[in-house]
């Protein structure tokens, strides 16, 4: 399953830790946006890690992380303009 995960974190230390955690699960497509191809188990594990990081010292009431699951049909409709085109993973065909 493809997930798009975006975050808005004020604290630099927490923001860096969130980004580091996400880099272990997917790839950065914008400064604070990641695409992650995950199983249900991996998604649950990642959500737990992110929740723990958001509860750390220095976290703000306005910090947020949003996750969007894209179905296969929606994933095929992703459109990218600009210099960072999506790269197909082996076994995937992007139209």
Please tell me the distance from the alpha carbon of residue 52 to that of residue 67, in angstroms, as a whole number.
16
DSSP alpha helix (H) spans, 33-71: 40-54
The C-alpha atoms of residue 85 and residue 10 are separated, in whole angstroms, by: 28
User: Can you tell me the distance from the alpha carbon of 90 to that of 56, in angstroms, rounded to the nearest whole number?
Assistant: 37
Taking only the tens place, the pLDDT of each residue in 15-56 is 999 999 999 999 999 999 999 999 999 999 999 999 999 887
Q: Domain limits of the chain?
A: 2-76
Percent of the chain with pLDDT over 90: 62
45 vs 82, higher pLDDT = 45
Closest CA to 34 of 7, 64, 70, 4: 4
pTM: 0.79
Q: Does domain 2-76 have CATH number 3.30.70.240?
A: yes
């Amino acid at each position: 399953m493809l997930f798009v995960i975006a975050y808005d974190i004020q604290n630099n230390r927490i923001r860096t830790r969130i980004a580091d955690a996400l880099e272990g699960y997917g790839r950065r497509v914008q400064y604070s946006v990641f695409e992650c191809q995950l199983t249900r188990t991996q998604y649950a594990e990642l959500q737990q890690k992110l929740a723990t990081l958001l509860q750390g010292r220095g976290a703000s009431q306005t910090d947020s992380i949003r996750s969007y699951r894209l179905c296969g049909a929606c994933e095929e409709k992703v459109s990218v303009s600009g210099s960072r085109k999506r790269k197909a993973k082996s076994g995937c065909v992007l139209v």
